[in-house]
Amino acid sequence: MRMSKGRLIVFSAPSGCGKGTMLAEILKDENYCVSVSATTRSPREGEVDGVNYYFMSKGDFLQRVADSEFLEYAEYCDNYYGTLMSEVDGKLNEGKNVILEIEVQGALKIREKRPDALMIFILPPSVSELRRRLKKRGTETDEVIEQRVSQAAREIEVASKYDYAIVNDALEDAISDFFAVMRAEKLKTQFSENTINEVLKNA
């Protein structure tokens, strides 16, 4: 079978929805990878250029912004972070599905630039369960937890703009949901023109 291009996947979830655990599970499948971001912040101990981030100067970063080389970028704590188009397309052309882990506003911008992106939102079973999970961590004050919960609720309101919403209640089910989505997407006729043409060959 001919190798086909990978799929660009936008993956968003409010804090506390278990996105990290889900991603770790998905990345065990070698057909998936995450996109390495570019940043202007300094490398920390042990961080490797091209693995953790592409480290670059502010001048270099802004030149690339001017040259429209970024799929999206944002400023955070006086540094820039962004996704290079070349990084994403390189991996897609290798046949990998590229996961962009990104917050809601950035995700919606990507949708505009890349209507072929597959947008997946991870939901908690309920907002009250999310509050319970955040409290269980015990790392934040009640006030901070309430801020996170409100933030999560605002993000969830945008979930309907994504293609799919997966509830992460039991991890195993959420992972099966994800792979069912990927399997079904491949069967969509808009992506299987090649299959149809192959079937018709030598008719």
Site residues (vs a second copy, CB under 8 A): 121, 123-128, 149-150, 153, 156-157, 159-167, 176-177, 179-181, 183-185, 187-190, 192-193, 195-196, 198-203
Least Å distance between CB 132 and a second copy? 12
Q: CA–CA separation, 116 vs 113, rounded Å?
A: 9
- Given a contact cutoff of 8 angstroms between Cβ atoms, the answer to whether 102 and 72 are in contact is yes
- What token pair was written down for 80? 């820039």
Residue 11 CA, distance from chain mean position: 3
CB of 59 to a second copy, least distance (A): 41
136 or 183, CB closer to a second copy?
Answer: 183
Contacts of 169 (CB under 8 A, 6+ apart): 125
Residue 175 CB, shortest distance to a second copy, in Å, is: 12
Using CB atoms within 10 Å of the CB of residue 197, give its burial: 0 to 12 exposed, 13 to 18 middle, 19+ buried.
Answer: exposed
Q: Which is nearer to a second copy, 85 or 181 (CB)?
A: 181
Nearer CB in complex with a second copy: 36/182: 182
Compare residues 114 and 148 and give the one whose CB is closer to a second copy.
Answer: 148
Distance between CA atoms of 104 and 123, rounded to whole angstroms? 13
Q: How far is the CB of 106 from a second copy (least distance, A)?
A: 18
Give the pairing of strands 37-39 and 53-55. Answer: parallel
In the complex with a second copy, the residue whose CB is nearer, 9 or 159, is 159
CB of 144 to a second copy, least distance (A): 17
What are the tokens at 174? 């959420």
What does the block give as tokens for 39?
């940043």
The encoded tokens of residue 79 equal 């540094």
